[in-house]
A and B are shown apart, each in its own frame.
Chain A
Amino acid sequence: MEMKSNRKYLWLLGALAVLHAAILLAGFIAPYDEAAQNREMPFSPPMRIHFVDSAGHFHVRPFVYGWKHPQDDFTVYDVDQDQVYPLHFFVPGAPYKLANLFRTNTHFFGVDAPGSIFLFGADQFGRDVFSRTLRGGQISLLAGLLAAGLALTLGTILGGLAGYYGGWWDAILMRGAELFLALPWLYLLFAVRAFLPLQVEPKQAFLLLVAIIGLVGWARPARLIRGVVLSARERDFVRAARGFGASDLYILRRHVLPQAGGVILTQAALLVPQYVLAEITLSFLGLGVGEPVPTWGNMLASLMQVHILESYWWMIAPGVASIPFFLGYMALANALEKRARLAAT
Protein backbone atom coordinates (compact mmCIF):
# COMPACT_ATOMS: atom_id res chain seq x y z
CA MET A 1 0.00 0.00 0.00
CA GLU A 2 2.65 2.47 1.02
CA MET A 3 4.95 1.44 -1.79
CA LYS A 4 2.24 1.94 -4.35
CA SER A 5 1.35 5.36 -3.03
CA ASN A 6 4.97 6.39 -3.05
CA ARG A 7 5.44 5.32 -6.64
CA LYS A 8 2.30 7.18 -7.67
CA TYR A 9 3.65 10.23 -5.95
CA LEU A 10 6.87 10.00 -7.93
CA TRP A 11 4.98 9.55 -11.16
CA LEU A 12 2.94 12.61 -10.40
CA LEU A 13 5.99 14.68 -9.57
CA GLY A 14 7.64 13.48 -12.77
CA ALA A 15 4.66 14.42 -14.90
CA LEU A 16 4.43 17.87 -13.31
CA ALA A 17 8.15 18.37 -13.81
CA VAL A 18 7.85 17.54 -17.51
CA LEU A 19 4.94 19.92 -17.92
CA HIS A 20 6.81 22.71 -16.21
CA ALA A 21 9.97 22.02 -18.17
CA ALA A 22 7.98 22.42 -21.38
CA ILE A 23 6.79 25.80 -20.17
CA LEU A 24 10.22 26.83 -18.99
CA LEU A 25 11.78 25.85 -22.32
CA ALA A 26 8.92 27.37 -24.28
CA GLY A 27 11.22 29.39 -26.50
CA PHE A 28 12.99 26.26 -27.68
CA ILE A 29 9.93 24.07 -28.24
CA ALA A 30 7.93 26.84 -29.87
CA PRO A 31 8.72 27.16 -33.57
CA TYR A 32 7.94 30.90 -33.69
CA ASP A 33 8.29 34.09 -31.73
CA GLU A 34 5.05 34.59 -29.83
CA ALA A 35 4.50 38.00 -31.40
CA ALA A 36 5.42 37.17 -34.99
CA GLN A 37 2.49 37.96 -37.26
CA ASN A 38 1.80 36.19 -40.50
CA ARG A 39 -0.70 38.53 -42.08
CA GLU A 40 -1.39 36.14 -44.92
CA MET A 41 -2.80 33.55 -42.54
CA PRO A 42 -5.27 35.01 -40.06
CA PHE A 43 -7.13 32.22 -38.27
CA SER A 44 -5.24 29.49 -40.07
CA PRO A 45 -6.68 26.16 -38.85
CA PRO A 46 -4.33 23.68 -37.14
CA MET A 47 -2.10 21.77 -39.55
CA ARG A 48 -1.77 18.02 -39.52
CA ILE A 49 1.62 16.40 -39.54
CA HIS A 50 1.75 13.80 -42.31
CA PHE A 51 3.97 10.82 -42.91
CA VAL A 52 2.16 9.53 -45.98
CA ASP A 53 1.76 11.81 -48.99
CA SER A 54 -1.17 12.02 -51.37
CA ALA A 55 0.38 9.42 -53.64
CA GLY A 56 0.53 6.95 -50.75
CA HIS A 57 4.29 7.09 -50.28
CA PHE A 58 5.65 6.91 -46.75
CA HIS A 59 8.21 9.52 -45.69
CA VAL A 60 10.56 9.15 -42.74
CA ARG A 61 10.69 12.91 -42.41
CA PRO A 62 7.25 14.16 -41.45
CA PHE A 63 5.81 17.08 -43.41
CA VAL A 64 2.88 19.50 -43.50
CA TYR A 65 0.86 20.76 -46.45
CA GLY A 66 0.39 24.44 -47.19
CA TRP A 67 -2.94 26.24 -47.49
CA LYS A 68 -4.82 27.64 -50.46
CA HIS A 69 -7.82 29.95 -50.48
CA PRO A 70 -10.68 28.79 -52.69
CA GLN A 71 -12.34 31.61 -54.65
CA ASP A 72 -9.71 33.99 -53.29
CA ASP A 73 -11.63 34.27 -50.03
CA PHE A 74 -8.86 34.77 -47.50
CA THR A 75 -11.06 33.53 -44.64
CA VAL A 76 -11.44 30.04 -46.11
CA TYR A 77 -8.58 27.55 -45.95
CA ASP A 78 -8.15 24.37 -47.98
CA VAL A 79 -5.26 21.93 -47.89
CA ASP A 80 -3.00 22.42 -50.90
CA GLN A 81 -1.28 19.11 -51.58
CA ASP A 82 1.08 20.75 -54.06
CA GLN A 83 2.82 22.62 -51.28
CA VAL A 84 4.80 20.18 -49.16
CA TYR A 85 6.92 21.48 -46.29
CA PRO A 86 9.04 18.83 -44.54
CA LEU A 87 9.78 19.32 -40.83
CA HIS A 88 13.34 20.12 -39.83
CA PHE A 89 14.71 19.80 -36.34
CA PHE A 90 17.04 22.12 -34.40
CA VAL A 91 16.51 24.85 -36.93
CA PRO A 92 17.59 28.48 -36.58
CA GLY A 93 14.74 30.95 -36.14
CA ALA A 94 13.70 33.93 -34.09
CA PRO A 95 16.11 34.73 -31.23
CA TYR A 96 14.91 34.10 -27.66
CA LYS A 97 16.31 33.51 -24.20
CA LEU A 98 16.36 29.85 -23.22
CA ALA A 99 14.86 29.51 -19.73
CA ASN A 100 15.32 33.28 -19.51
CA LEU A 101 19.07 32.76 -19.31
CA PHE A 102 20.84 32.02 -22.57
CA ARG A 103 20.39 33.91 -25.79
CA THR A 104 19.97 31.54 -28.73
CA ASN A 105 17.97 31.11 -31.90
CA THR A 106 17.74 27.34 -32.21
CA HIS A 107 14.22 25.96 -32.25
CA PHE A 108 13.25 22.34 -31.79
CA PHE A 109 11.43 22.16 -35.09
CA GLY A 110 10.29 24.28 -38.00
CA VAL A 111 9.65 24.30 -41.71
CA ASP A 112 11.43 26.18 -44.48
CA ALA A 113 10.06 29.42 -45.84
CA PRO A 114 7.65 30.17 -47.40
CA GLY A 115 5.89 27.45 -45.45
CA SER A 116 4.50 27.83 -41.94
CA ILE A 117 3.67 25.28 -39.33
CA PHE A 118 0.73 26.01 -37.07
CA LEU A 119 0.17 22.91 -34.94
CA PHE A 120 -2.61 24.56 -32.92
CA GLY A 121 -3.66 26.92 -35.72
CA ALA A 122 -3.17 30.67 -35.82
CA ASP A 123 -4.99 33.59 -34.23
CA GLN A 124 -6.46 36.68 -35.83
CA PHE A 125 -3.03 38.14 -36.52
CA GLY A 126 -1.68 34.90 -37.97
CA ARG A 127 0.36 34.22 -34.83
CA ASP A 128 1.11 30.63 -33.92
CA VAL A 129 -1.24 29.50 -31.13
CA PHE A 130 1.11 26.64 -30.19
CA SER A 131 4.00 29.01 -29.55
CA ARG A 132 1.76 31.45 -27.74
CA THR A 133 0.27 28.77 -25.51
CA LEU A 134 3.73 27.67 -24.41
CA ARG A 135 4.99 31.19 -23.84
CA GLY A 136 1.76 32.27 -22.19
CA GLY A 137 2.14 29.55 -19.59
CA GLN A 138 5.28 31.22 -18.29
CA ILE A 139 3.62 34.37 -17.03
CA SER A 140 0.32 32.76 -16.12
CA LEU A 141 1.74 30.00 -13.97
CA LEU A 142 4.16 32.35 -12.30
CA ALA A 143 1.35 34.76 -11.53
CA GLY A 144 -0.99 32.02 -10.32
CA LEU A 145 1.56 30.36 -8.04
CA LEU A 146 2.82 33.67 -6.71
CA ALA A 147 -0.61 35.02 -5.88
CA ALA A 148 -1.88 31.76 -4.40
CA GLY A 149 1.26 31.45 -2.29
CA LEU A 150 0.85 34.97 -0.95
CA ALA A 151 -2.83 34.59 -0.20
CA LEU A 152 -2.39 31.23 1.51
CA THR A 153 0.59 32.21 3.64
CA LEU A 154 -1.15 35.29 4.95
CA GLY A 155 -4.44 33.44 5.26
CA THR A 156 -2.93 30.59 7.24
CA ILE A 157 -1.12 32.87 9.64
CA LEU A 158 -4.01 35.23 10.25
CA GLY A 159 -6.71 32.55 10.22
CA GLY A 160 -4.64 30.45 12.60
CA LEU A 161 -4.20 33.36 15.00
CA ALA A 162 -7.86 34.25 14.94
CA GLY A 163 -9.02 30.70 15.47
CA TYR A 164 -6.48 29.82 18.14
CA TYR A 165 -6.57 32.89 20.33
CA GLY A 166 -10.20 33.76 19.74
CA GLY A 167 -11.60 36.78 21.58
CA TRP A 168 -10.32 40.14 20.41
CA TRP A 169 -7.90 38.63 17.97
CA ASP A 170 -10.71 36.77 16.37
CA ALA A 171 -13.07 39.72 16.29
CA ILE A 172 -10.51 42.08 14.79
CA LEU A 173 -9.09 39.66 12.25
CA MET A 174 -12.43 38.36 11.10
CA ARG A 175 -13.98 41.82 10.77
CA GLY A 176 -10.81 42.71 8.90
CA ALA A 177 -11.38 39.73 6.63
CA GLU A 178 -14.92 40.87 5.96
CA LEU A 179 -13.65 44.34 5.20
CA PHE A 180 -11.17 42.89 2.75
CA LEU A 181 -13.83 40.77 1.10
CA ALA A 182 -16.19 43.68 0.73
CA LEU A 183 -13.89 46.38 -0.59
CA PRO A 184 -14.02 47.39 -4.25
CA TRP A 185 -10.54 46.20 -5.14
CA LEU A 186 -11.07 46.87 -8.79
CA TYR A 187 -10.86 50.56 -8.05
CA LEU A 188 -7.64 50.13 -6.18
CA LEU A 189 -6.28 48.24 -9.16
CA PHE A 190 -7.45 51.03 -11.47
CA ALA A 191 -5.69 53.47 -9.23
CA VAL A 192 -2.49 51.45 -9.03
CA ARG A 193 -2.48 51.05 -12.80
CA ALA A 194 -2.95 54.78 -13.18
CA PHE A 195 -0.05 55.59 -10.90
CA LEU A 196 2.30 53.16 -12.61
CA PRO A 197 4.37 54.92 -15.22
CA LEU A 198 3.63 53.94 -18.82
CA GLN A 199 7.24 52.89 -19.25
CA VAL A 200 6.73 49.91 -16.97
CA GLU A 201 6.84 46.69 -18.98
CA PRO A 202 3.36 45.22 -19.36
CA LYS A 203 4.58 41.97 -17.80
CA GLN A 204 5.92 43.67 -14.70
CA ALA A 205 2.81 45.78 -14.31
CA PHE A 206 0.73 42.66 -14.51
CA LEU A 207 2.79 40.73 -11.97
CA LEU A 208 2.49 43.65 -9.61
CA LEU A 209 -1.28 43.68 -9.96
CA VAL A 210 -1.48 39.94 -9.42
CA ALA A 211 0.68 40.28 -6.33
CA ILE A 212 -1.78 42.83 -5.00
CA ILE A 213 -4.66 40.48 -5.68
CA GLY A 214 -2.80 37.75 -3.84
CA LEU A 215 -2.05 40.05 -0.92
CA VAL A 216 -5.66 41.07 -0.52
CA GLY A 217 -6.88 37.52 -1.14
CA TRP A 218 -6.00 36.21 2.32
CA ALA A 219 -9.48 36.75 3.70
CA ARG A 220 -11.18 33.70 2.24
CA PRO A 221 -8.60 31.05 3.21
CA ALA A 222 -8.22 32.75 6.59
CA ARG A 223 -11.90 32.36 7.34
CA LEU A 224 -11.84 28.69 6.35
CA ILE A 225 -8.71 27.92 8.33
CA ARG A 226 -10.05 29.75 11.35
CA GLY A 227 -13.09 27.45 11.33
CA VAL A 228 -10.87 24.38 11.47
CA VAL A 229 -8.50 25.79 14.07
CA LEU A 230 -11.44 26.87 16.20
CA SER A 231 -12.53 23.28 16.63
CA ALA A 232 -9.03 21.79 16.65
CA ARG A 233 -7.87 23.77 19.66
CA GLU A 234 -10.67 22.26 21.74
CA ARG A 235 -9.61 18.70 20.95
CA ASP A 236 -8.50 16.69 23.97
CA PHE A 237 -4.91 16.22 22.92
CA VAL A 238 -4.52 19.93 22.28
CA ARG A 239 -5.94 20.73 25.68
CA ALA A 240 -3.66 18.13 27.16
CA ALA A 241 -0.63 19.62 25.44
CA ARG A 242 -1.59 23.02 26.77
CA GLY A 243 -1.97 21.51 30.18
CA PHE A 244 1.58 20.25 29.98
CA GLY A 245 2.69 23.81 29.40
CA ALA A 246 3.48 23.57 25.69
CA SER A 247 4.00 26.95 24.10
CA ASP A 248 1.30 28.36 21.83
CA LEU A 249 3.62 28.33 18.85
CA TYR A 250 4.45 24.68 19.45
CA ILE A 251 0.80 23.70 19.74
CA LEU A 252 -0.15 25.68 16.66
CA ARG A 253 2.64 24.16 14.63
CA ARG A 254 2.47 20.60 15.84
CA HIS A 255 -1.16 19.99 16.60
CA VAL A 256 -3.45 22.63 15.20
CA LEU A 257 -2.14 23.51 11.75
CA PRO A 258 -1.74 19.87 10.66
CA GLN A 259 -5.45 19.54 11.33
CA ALA A 260 -5.99 22.39 8.89
CA GLY A 261 -3.69 20.75 6.34
CA GLY A 262 -6.53 19.34 4.26
CA VAL A 263 -8.24 22.70 4.01
CA ILE A 264 -5.01 24.52 3.19
CA LEU A 265 -3.99 22.12 0.45
CA THR A 266 -7.48 22.04 -1.03
CA GLN A 267 -7.46 25.83 -1.04
CA ALA A 268 -4.05 25.88 -2.70
CA ALA A 269 -5.17 23.61 -5.49
CA LEU A 270 -8.26 25.77 -6.00
CA LEU A 271 -6.56 29.13 -5.79
CA VAL A 272 -3.94 28.61 -8.48
CA PRO A 273 -6.49 28.16 -11.29
CA GLN A 274 -8.54 30.99 -9.83
CA TYR A 275 -5.65 33.40 -10.00
CA VAL A 276 -4.58 32.26 -13.44
CA LEU A 277 -8.12 32.88 -14.63
CA ALA A 278 -8.40 36.15 -12.69
CA GLU A 279 -6.62 37.77 -15.55
CA ILE A 280 -9.67 37.29 -17.73
CA THR A 281 -11.62 39.71 -15.58
CA LEU A 282 -8.60 41.97 -15.33
CA SER A 283 -8.10 42.20 -19.06
CA PHE A 284 -11.84 42.77 -19.45
CA LEU A 285 -11.25 45.93 -17.43
CA GLY A 286 -8.03 46.89 -19.14
CA LEU A 287 -5.74 45.70 -16.37
CA GLY A 288 -4.39 42.59 -18.03
CA VAL A 289 -1.17 42.07 -19.91
CA GLY A 290 -0.98 44.17 -23.04
CA GLU A 291 -0.48 42.81 -26.53
CA PRO A 292 1.50 41.16 -27.95
CA VAL A 293 2.60 39.34 -24.79
CA PRO A 294 0.58 36.13 -24.52
CA THR A 295 -0.80 34.73 -21.27
CA TRP A 296 -3.38 32.02 -20.81
CA GLY A 297 -5.64 34.61 -19.29
CA ASN A 298 -5.59 37.06 -22.18
CA MET A 299 -5.74 34.25 -24.73
CA LEU A 300 -8.79 32.79 -23.03
CA ALA A 301 -10.31 36.26 -22.66
CA SER A 302 -10.13 36.76 -26.42
CA LEU A 303 -11.76 33.41 -26.95
CA MET A 304 -14.90 34.40 -25.14
CA GLN A 305 -16.68 35.45 -28.26
CA VAL A 306 -19.36 33.61 -30.10
CA HIS A 307 -17.66 33.75 -33.47
CA ILE A 308 -14.60 32.04 -32.04
CA LEU A 309 -16.63 29.29 -30.40
CA GLU A 310 -18.48 28.85 -33.61
CA SER A 311 -15.74 29.20 -36.22
CA TYR A 312 -12.29 29.00 -34.66
CA TRP A 313 -12.44 26.23 -32.10
CA TRP A 314 -8.66 25.79 -31.97
CA MET A 315 -8.34 29.05 -30.07
CA ILE A 316 -9.39 27.12 -26.97
CA ALA A 317 -5.90 25.53 -26.89
CA PRO A 318 -4.62 27.46 -23.83
CA GLY A 319 -7.70 26.35 -21.89
CA VAL A 320 -7.07 22.73 -22.77
CA ALA A 321 -3.37 23.11 -22.03
CA SER A 322 -4.07 24.49 -18.58
CA ILE A 323 -6.22 21.54 -17.50
CA PRO A 324 -3.36 19.02 -16.99
CA PHE A 325 -1.56 21.61 -14.88
CA PHE A 326 -4.54 22.26 -12.67
CA LEU A 327 -5.34 18.56 -12.35
CA GLY A 328 -1.69 17.94 -11.54
CA TYR A 329 -1.76 20.52 -8.75
CA MET A 330 -4.89 19.00 -7.30
CA ALA A 331 -3.47 15.50 -7.40
CA LEU A 332 -0.29 16.81 -5.83
CA ALA A 333 -2.28 18.47 -3.06
CA ASN A 334 -4.02 15.16 -2.39
CA ALA A 335 -0.78 13.21 -2.41
CA LEU A 336 0.95 15.68 -0.11
CA GLU A 337 -1.91 15.53 2.32
CA LYS A 338 -1.77 11.76 2.35
CA ARG A 339 1.97 11.80 2.88
CA ALA A 340 1.72 14.27 5.71
CA ARG A 341 -0.81 12.04 7.39
CA LEU A 342 1.28 8.91 6.90
CA ALA A 343 4.27 10.70 8.34
CA ALA A 344 2.23 11.77 11.36
CA THR A 345 1.03 8.27 12.25
Chain B
Amino acid sequence: MIGKLGVALGVLWLLSMTAAEAAQAQAPGRNSANPGATKLTLVQALVCEEVKDGIPSNPAIAFSISVGKIYCYTLFDQVAEDTFVYHHWFFRDKPSARIRLTVKHPRWSTFSSIQLREADKGPWRVEIIDAAGRTIKSLRFSVTD
Protein backbone atom coordinates (compact mmCIF):
# COMPACT_ATOMS: atom_id res chain seq x y z
CA MET B 1 0.00 0.00 0.00
CA ILE B 2 2.76 2.40 1.06
CA GLY B 3 4.82 1.37 -1.96
CA LYS B 4 2.00 2.16 -4.35
CA LEU B 5 1.42 5.48 -2.65
CA GLY B 6 5.12 6.26 -2.96
CA VAL B 7 5.11 5.44 -6.66
CA ALA B 8 1.98 7.57 -7.15
CA LEU B 9 3.54 10.49 -5.32
CA GLY B 10 6.71 10.10 -7.34
CA VAL B 11 4.78 10.18 -10.59
CA LEU B 12 2.85 13.22 -9.40
CA TRP B 13 6.04 14.96 -8.46
CA LEU B 14 7.61 14.19 -11.84
CA LEU B 15 4.49 15.46 -13.59
CA SER B 16 4.49 18.62 -11.52
CA MET B 17 8.17 19.20 -12.27
CA THR B 18 7.51 18.68 -15.98
CA ALA B 19 4.58 21.10 -15.77
CA ALA B 20 6.73 23.65 -13.96
CA GLU B 21 9.41 23.38 -16.64
CA ALA B 22 6.72 23.70 -19.30
CA ALA B 23 5.31 26.76 -17.57
CA GLN B 24 8.77 28.28 -17.44
CA ALA B 25 9.24 27.57 -21.12
CA GLN B 26 5.86 29.12 -22.02
CA ALA B 27 6.47 32.40 -20.23
CA PRO B 28 9.94 33.57 -21.18
CA GLY B 29 11.25 37.07 -20.57
CA ARG B 30 8.66 38.22 -18.00
CA ASN B 31 11.20 38.55 -15.25
CA SER B 32 14.82 38.56 -16.26
CA ALA B 33 15.98 37.62 -12.78
CA ASN B 34 13.52 34.72 -12.60
CA PRO B 35 12.85 33.51 -16.08
CA GLY B 36 9.53 31.72 -16.22
CA ALA B 37 8.09 33.31 -13.09
CA THR B 38 4.50 34.49 -13.42
CA LYS B 39 3.82 37.85 -11.85
CA LEU B 40 1.81 37.45 -8.68
CA THR B 41 1.57 39.13 -5.28
CA LEU B 42 1.29 37.22 -2.03
CA VAL B 43 -1.25 39.10 0.03
CA GLN B 44 -1.60 36.76 2.97
CA ALA B 45 0.21 33.67 4.20
CA LEU B 46 -0.43 31.99 7.50
CA VAL B 47 -0.62 28.68 9.28
CA CYS B 48 -3.92 28.02 10.99
CA GLU B 49 -6.01 25.39 12.70
CA GLU B 50 -8.79 25.35 10.13
CA VAL B 51 -9.85 26.69 6.71
CA LYS B 52 -13.59 26.86 6.43
CA ASP B 53 -15.30 28.12 3.28
CA GLY B 54 -11.96 29.49 2.11
CA ILE B 55 -11.47 31.49 5.29
CA PRO B 56 -8.66 30.60 7.73
CA SER B 57 -9.42 30.49 11.40
CA ASN B 58 -7.19 30.59 14.50
CA PRO B 59 -3.91 31.46 12.79
CA ALA B 60 -1.03 30.88 15.19
CA ILE B 61 2.66 30.02 15.47
CA ALA B 62 2.27 27.15 17.95
CA PHE B 63 -0.24 24.30 17.57
CA SER B 64 -1.16 21.56 19.93
CA ILE B 65 -0.82 18.07 18.53
CA SER B 66 -4.41 17.56 19.66
CA VAL B 67 -5.57 19.86 16.82
CA GLY B 68 -4.96 16.89 14.53
CA LYS B 69 -4.47 18.83 11.29
CA ILE B 70 -2.96 22.18 10.41
CA TYR B 71 -3.24 24.30 7.29
CA CYS B 72 -1.04 26.66 5.37
CA TYR B 73 -3.25 29.30 3.79
CA THR B 74 -2.04 31.64 1.04
CA LEU B 75 -3.90 34.45 -0.79
CA PHE B 76 -2.53 35.83 -4.04
CA ASP B 77 -3.52 38.94 -5.93
CA GLN B 78 -2.53 40.46 -9.24
CA VAL B 79 -1.98 37.04 -10.72
CA ALA B 80 -1.07 37.75 -14.34
CA GLU B 81 -2.10 34.32 -15.57
CA ASP B 82 -2.85 30.90 -14.25
CA THR B 83 0.18 29.42 -12.56
CA PHE B 84 1.04 27.30 -9.57
CA VAL B 85 2.97 27.50 -6.32
CA TYR B 86 4.43 24.95 -3.95
CA HIS B 87 3.85 24.66 -0.23
CA HIS B 88 7.02 22.95 0.94
CA TRP B 89 6.69 21.68 4.49
CA PHE B 90 9.87 21.11 6.56
CA PHE B 91 10.14 19.46 9.95
CA ARG B 92 13.43 20.35 11.69
CA ASP B 93 14.93 21.40 8.34
CA LYS B 94 14.05 18.07 6.78
CA PRO B 95 11.55 18.07 3.89
CA SER B 96 8.26 16.58 4.98
CA ALA B 97 5.83 17.37 2.17
CA ARG B 98 5.87 19.29 -1.11
CA ILE B 99 2.42 20.20 -2.35
CA ARG B 100 1.72 21.79 -5.73
CA LEU B 101 -1.20 24.23 -5.75
CA THR B 102 -2.83 25.96 -8.67
CA VAL B 103 -3.11 29.76 -8.60
CA LYS B 104 -5.54 31.34 -11.04
CA HIS B 105 -5.88 34.78 -12.58
CA PRO B 106 -6.53 37.38 -11.22
CA ARG B 107 -6.92 36.64 -7.46
CA TRP B 108 -6.70 33.28 -5.82
CA SER B 109 -6.52 31.72 -2.40
CA THR B 110 -5.30 28.22 -1.81
CA PHE B 111 -4.12 26.06 1.05
CA SER B 112 -2.37 22.83 1.92
CA SER B 113 -2.53 20.80 5.08
CA ILE B 114 -0.74 18.08 6.97
CA GLN B 115 -2.02 15.50 9.39
CA LEU B 116 -0.23 15.69 12.73
CA ARG B 117 1.23 12.64 14.41
CA GLU B 118 2.88 12.27 17.81
CA ALA B 119 6.33 12.30 16.20
CA ASP B 120 5.64 15.67 14.57
CA LYS B 121 6.22 17.71 17.73
CA GLY B 122 8.90 20.31 17.20
CA PRO B 123 9.76 23.26 15.00
CA TRP B 124 8.28 23.42 11.48
CA ARG B 125 8.41 25.76 8.55
CA VAL B 126 6.51 26.07 5.29
CA GLU B 127 8.19 27.63 2.29
CA ILE B 128 5.92 29.13 -0.37
CA ILE B 129 7.70 28.74 -3.65
CA ASP B 130 6.59 30.12 -6.99
CA ALA B 131 6.67 28.34 -10.32
CA ALA B 132 10.20 29.56 -10.95
CA GLY B 133 11.41 27.95 -7.73
CA ARG B 134 11.76 31.27 -5.90
CA THR B 135 10.91 31.27 -2.20
CA ILE B 136 8.26 33.93 -1.73
CA LYS B 137 7.75 33.48 1.99
CA SER B 138 8.76 31.27 4.91
CA LEU B 139 6.33 30.60 7.72
CA ARG B 140 7.76 29.23 10.98
CA PHE B 141 5.75 27.56 13.72
CA SER B 142 5.87 24.77 16.28
CA VAL B 143 3.83 21.69 16.99
CA THR B 144 3.66 21.09 20.73
CA ASP B 145 1.96 18.85 23.32
Q: Do A and B bind each other?
A: no
Q: Give residues in B with beta carbon < 8 Å to A.
A: none
Q: Give residues in A with beta carbon < 8 Å to B.
A: none
